Structure 1
Amino acid sequence: MTEVAPANGGDMGRLGRSGWFGLLPLLLSAGILLAGNGLLVTLVAVRANLEGFSPQTVGLLGAVYFAGFIGACLITPSLILRAGHIRVFAALASLGAVAALVLVLAIDPVVWLASRALTGFAFAGLATVVESWLNSRAGASERGRVLAVYRIVDLSCVTGGQFLLPIVGADSFAIFAVVAILFCLALLPISLSRQTSPAPPASPRLDVARIWRLSPVACIGCITIGLTNGAFRTVGPIYAQESALDLEQLALFMSLAIAGGALSQYPLGWLSDRLDRRWILVLATIGAAVAGLWLTLSGNVSADVVLVGGFLFGAFAIPLYSLSIAHGNDHAGDADRVELSATLILMYALGATVGPLAASQIMESFGAPAFFAYTSLLHGVFLVFLLYRMTRRAAVPLTRRSRFVALLRTSPAFYQLARKARGRER
């Protein structure tokens, strides 16, 4: 299993048919991994509720997941330097499968907390391996297309993975076995590939104070999105259960939110490249707050109303992450962009560590519909901050503005791939 970095690094020119065929194992592994993790995030909330775990415990399960996520973002580059991409991927895929099976072998909150922390570490590390590898293997002229294919893989696999839940059911060992199988299957394409591994990614530098001075709006935006969207992935399924949605409707609710975000990213991004980006942030924030109020008031109305609300929430709330980072990049120089991305993704993860805890406590005290009142309140606070900052700083001229990039919240390595792809298009 010797790993040798290619002599030409990532500058491979046009990939051609053979080059795309060489990327297929990476994309297959990524798709299987994204499907398994997306399914597991929803499954944990649903099964924990069925097992009688308190909302606070469910929230804590989400918090420790993102704590593990933060650790992986910081540590994985060093692990790859020590052992290489393939060995690290194999180790983390095995860890993810073990963590999934432990959940059903020991129905105990303490065991589940440890398992979720390990899963967060494993998934973020696995994403770093795949995305840094894609970044290196994609030629300069092909990065845009590789990025587009990877986003399609993400959307289709995460959305499709949700529907394994109603097919298999949430109340048996089988669904956890399916998740473990997916983590193990993700190992096969990448480990059996003949592709050589690239050089390890650089460890991200973090200077929170400097990034704050660079763009307070981007910092508060990413923290707010972690507090809201991170909590949605963790306790949103409980809201759906308490709204009397069955498992199939619950899977559709979560999938519609993801699809809504995917569909609205590009229209909002296109507008933000042509107008003051902060006004598009205002528009999306208002939309997310209104959609949250819709869901707060519609929990006992009908399943169709809840499903529409879920789509609208995703359409406005999910793009806020990419819009916030794009705004931060408007104020950054080329030398700042990777550090900016690493800092902002960790700010998101910090918000997502706190968000599920706060949201679960609110749900315990005021009922499941109060969750979206919580998201609307936070979006309202962010809106006020946005409007305040617009009085303190002029808009960035169009000639100096960075172009919008739709981002996945998987690892800092994804941002490097996206920036290089966008830079090639200029």
Structure 2
Amino acid sequence: MTTNIRALVPLLLAAALLLGGNGLQGTLVALRAGEEGFSTLAVGLIGAAYFAGFLGACFAVPPLIRAVGHVRVFAALASVAGVGTLLLVLAVDPWVWAAVRAVMGFCFSGLFVVVESWLNGAAGRGERGRVLSIYRIVDLSAVTGGQFLLPVFGVAGFEIFAVTAILFALSLLPVALTNASRPVPPERFRFEPMLLWRLSPVAALGALSIGLTTSAFRLIGPLYGVELGFDTAQVALFMNAGIVGGAVLQLPLGTLSDRVDRRWALLIATSGAVLAGLWLNAAHAPAAVYGGAFAFGAFALPLYSLAAAQANDRAGADADFVGISTGLIFVYSVGAIFGPLGAAALVEAFGPQALFGYTSAVHGAMAVLTVAQMIARAPVPREGRGRVVGLLRTSTGIFSLAQRRRMGGGPEKNGRTEGPAESNREVRS
């Protein structure tokens, strides 16, 4: 490990604590809400509130970082996240929980902006690929590991909320005590809501569909498991099966999309998600449900990275890539706001299996629209396509990190990197 990457270890440790605590809390809120007798629609509202806060922070936090710096913003948001976690157990009411989760969404979105823009600015030339890979490993390990704290402490008492708050408090230590130099502030960006649609309707629809479906899976999925008679450990395993599935198929689908019209990979992924949803709609045995969750994650979760690559292929070498990233996050977040509400309403009306009937319907519509676009619009020539990179749906910082390392780490200008001329194709991945 080189000196620069060693210097990033405190940040990666802070990210692990945040990601683990955030993933744990998402499942915990759904399960505890069921224990408290909240309706499925109330759980959907609580989930929608989280993503509304998440979306707001994408725009509000970068100027705040430029004003007071990364460390102060991180400390403030992590403190509020810890307080919010304890409020959830002190005030058990669906409206209070919705308000608290909106604030939590704002906090976590802002915290990811801080960590990822810091990583983006601090990763040295030639190290960005490793930093991105390490960060994705940290993400997968922390989120899956955090889920297994649920059966250890249970969801009915105060202890699991205290443990989650402790994780957020501990994340302050590596950031507060690091001696890293002042990070580069996040880039300024101009948000154009229609930019992504003009470039690639398929990319916009892909980001929207994954927002509509994976938010519902994350927030209503635990209730689906409970309705099937799963205990807390089985629910944790069910949720983790989807996360691990997304990691397993990310590379094969990305490699396929680099070699053929990328829309074929998007069509395969959406079709696979349709079939996985239909399987889960009928499955009852635990092994069948775990397998279905794995398949659902394997096909649905890579859609975001495929959509980003498709948008960049259409953009051209001089495009505003930070603007494209912002558009993707915006469209995803809009879908994630409405996804839990729609899924919750259907589950209340038709039972738990309606959750995956809903995801199959959304992905099926996406597949039909993808075919329509393939008929109406010619593909991007192979020489004009870059490579797919697995992206976290958290901030423009991780998008820029993937972007810059392909350009050789040159200085940035207008949201893109000035690098070797021969790398123009790479920036569109």
TM-score (norm. length: structure 2):
0.94
Q: Which residue of 2 aligns with 1:401?
A: 385
**Which one of 345, 349, 358 corresponds to residue 374 of structure 1?**
358
Distance 2:299 2:205 in 1: 17
Q: Distance in 1 between matches of 2:223 and 2:20?
A: 20
**1:205 matched to which residue of 2?**
190
CA shift for structure 1 position 160: 0.4
The offset of 1:165, in angstroms, is 0.5
Q: Could you tell me whether the CA contact under 8 Å between 1:86 and 1:197 is conserved in 2?
A: no
Q: Distance in 1 between matches of 2:247 and 2:132?
A: 14
**C-alpha RMSD of matched pairs (Å):** 1.1
2:210 to 186, 202, 225: 225
Alignment of 1:134 onto 2:119? yes
The letter for the 2-side match of 1:413 is G
C-alpha separation between the residues in 1 aligned to 2:72 and 2:331?
A: 29
SS at match of 1:208: coil
| Structure 2 Cα separation of the partners of residues 145 and 189 of structure 1 | 20
Q: CA deviation at 1:110?
A: 1.4
- Match of residue 47 from structure 1: 32
Q: Distance in 2 between matches of 1:175 and 1:417?
A: 34
The equivalent of 1:266 in structure 2 is: 251
Letter in 2 for 1:314: G
- Write the letter of the residue equivalent to 1:32: L
Query: 1:332 corresponds to which residue?
Result: 315
Output the CA distance in 2 between the equivalents of 1:318 and 1:311.
10
Deviating above 3 A after TM superposition, structure 1's stretches of 4 or more consecutive aligned residues are: 422-426
Q: Is the 8 A contact 1:34 1:157 kept in 2?
A: yes
Matched, 1:323 2:296: no
Cα distance in structure 2, aligned partners of 1:316 and 1:219: 17
Q: Summarize the alignment of residues 19-418 of structure 1 with structure 2, pairs less than 5 Å apart.
A: 19-298=4-283, 301-333=284-316, 334-418=318-402
Distance in 2 of aligned mates of 1:375 and 1:353: 15
Which one-letter code corresponds to 1:177 in the other structure?
A
Q: Which residue is equivalent to 1:4?
A: none
State the AA in 2 paired with 1:420.
R
Task: Return the alpha-carbon distance in structure 1 between the equivalents of residues 195 and 100 of structure 2.
Answer: 35
Amino acid at match of 2:287: D
Determine if contact 2:305/2:390 at 8 Å carries over to the other structure: yes
**Following the alignment from structure 2 to structure 1, what is the Cα–Cα distance between the partners of residues 60 and 386?**
29
Distance 1:336 1:202 in 2: 11
Cα displacement (A) at 1:220:
1.1
Further displaced range: 368-377 or 331-340: 331-340
1:8-42 Cα offsets, whole Å, 9 max, x none, are xxxxxxxx633222111000000011000000000
Q: Conserved in 1, the CA contact under 8 Å of 2:5 and 2:127?
A: no
Q: Equivalent residue for 1:13?
A: none
Say which SS state the counterpart of residue 335 (structure 1) adopts.
Answer: coil
Distance, in Å, in 2 between the alignment partners of 1:118 and 1:159 is 24
* SS, match of residue 72 in structure 1: helix
**Consecutive unaligned residues in structure 2, runs of 5 or more:** 409-422
- CA contact 1:74–1:204 (8 Å) conserved in 2: no
Secondary structure at the residue paired with 1:387?
helix
Distance 1:97 1:158 in 2: 18
Number of positions where the alignment pairs a residue of Structure 1 with one of Structure 2: 409
